[in-house]
Chains A and B, each alone.
Chain A
Amino acid sequence: MNALRRNVLKGATGAGAVAVAVAAGLITPTRVLAGAPRSAFEAKSLADAMKGMGLPAATDSKDIVIKAPDIAENGAVVPVEVSSSIAGTSAIAIIAEKNNTPLVADFDLMGGTQGYVSTRIKMGTTALVRAIVTAGGKTYQATKEVKVTIGGCGG
């Protein structure tokens, strides 16, 4: 009976510590489950961002389609659509290679959500837009160049 009591106490303090960490903003609830850590979003180079996401080397895939303008007049608003027809697509990340912080957004897809996301991103300069798709534990990628006439990251 004493042993049980010990365990209960241990369990309670363990859960308490997690709750405190959540409250302090150290770990946010969704990040505990999946996705790229915040540090990846602050990475200053493409290599660091990829490393920060903890993904294995990506293989090029023709099953990923990036729909973005060839020439974006306004770098502050570049519409980007990524669709992946790879079976079991579970995550899509969008990277603008030459931005100060290249990782723009990552999306975890679950419960019937298809391999498709559409959003609008900022681009500082002409660069490749890279889509990283995770499917069945493997990583795939595709790129598309977007020419930017007016950058959207400066002042």
Chain B
Amino acid sequence: MAEPMKIRATMAGDTADIKVLMNHPMETGQRKDAKTGQLVPAHYITEVTATVNGAAVLKAGMGGGVSKNPYLGFKVKGAKAGDKVAVSWVDNTGDKRTDETTVG
């Protein structure tokens, strides 16, 4: 089971500043294991979706070029304190994870 994400959403003026830290190895499938010399199988997040109060605000596609434990920051105008922010990801093995927080 995938590890939980850390999501922080704070208001700055009329804009919500949302920061997400996902827990994921993000293996590209091109790296070799130092001991065995075998390629480490690809294991990375392919899609991230974010919603505010159920309405989509961001959809991201990712490749293996995103760093391990991906960080994502974005800004949503018109969000208010107390709004519910949900972020979900799906990886190339079909594993998925959704976490929520409220704008503070």
A interface residue numbers (CB < 8 A to B)? 25, 28, 30-31, 33-36, 38, 41-42, 76-79, 81, 96, 99-114, 116-123, 152-155
Contact = CB atoms under 8 A, between A and B. Distances in A.
Interface in B30-69: 30-34, 40, 46-47, 49, 52, 55-68
A34 B32 CA distance: 34
Please list the 5 inter-chain residue pairs (A to B) with the smallest Cβ-Cβ separation, ordered nearest first: A118-B73, A104-B65, A41-B63, A155-B32, A120-B67
Contact of A101 (B33, B55, B65, B77): B65
A130 B104 CA distance: 33
A122 B66 contact: yes
Contact of B61 (A31, A79, A112): A31
Interface of B: 15, 26, 28, 30-34, 40, 46-47, 49, 52, 55-68, 70-79, 90, 94
Contact of B31 (A31, A34, A154): A154
Contacts of A100: 28, 30
Contacts of B60: 105-108, 117
A-side interface mostly: mixed
